[in-house]
Amino acid sequence: MQATQTRKRWLDTMIEAARQETTAMPWQRGTRRAAFIAKRQALANAA
């Protein structure tokens, strides 16, 4: 088993990395996603 200090340091590093994560969620993607959805709906309506 790892030493407590090493484990705490690893955990602190993982928590900090998670805080800095900036992955764009589907509802945050804006105009690019809206254009894709509109194109897909136009194709569905044409069929």
Q: Where are the domains of the chain?
A: 4-46
Q: How confident is the model over 1-47, as pLDDT tens digits?
A: 557 888 889 999 999 998 998 887 777 778 888 899 999 999 999 87
- The pLDDT value recorded for residue 29 is 77
Residue 47 burial (CB < 10 Å; 0-12/13-18/19+)?
exposed
Residue 10: both structure tokens together = 């690893």
- The pLDDT value recorded for residue 30 is 85
**pTM of this prediction?**
0.40
- The pLDDT value recorded for residue 37 is 92
- The pLDDT value recorded for residue 1 is 54
Q: How far apart are the first and last CA of the chain?
A: 61
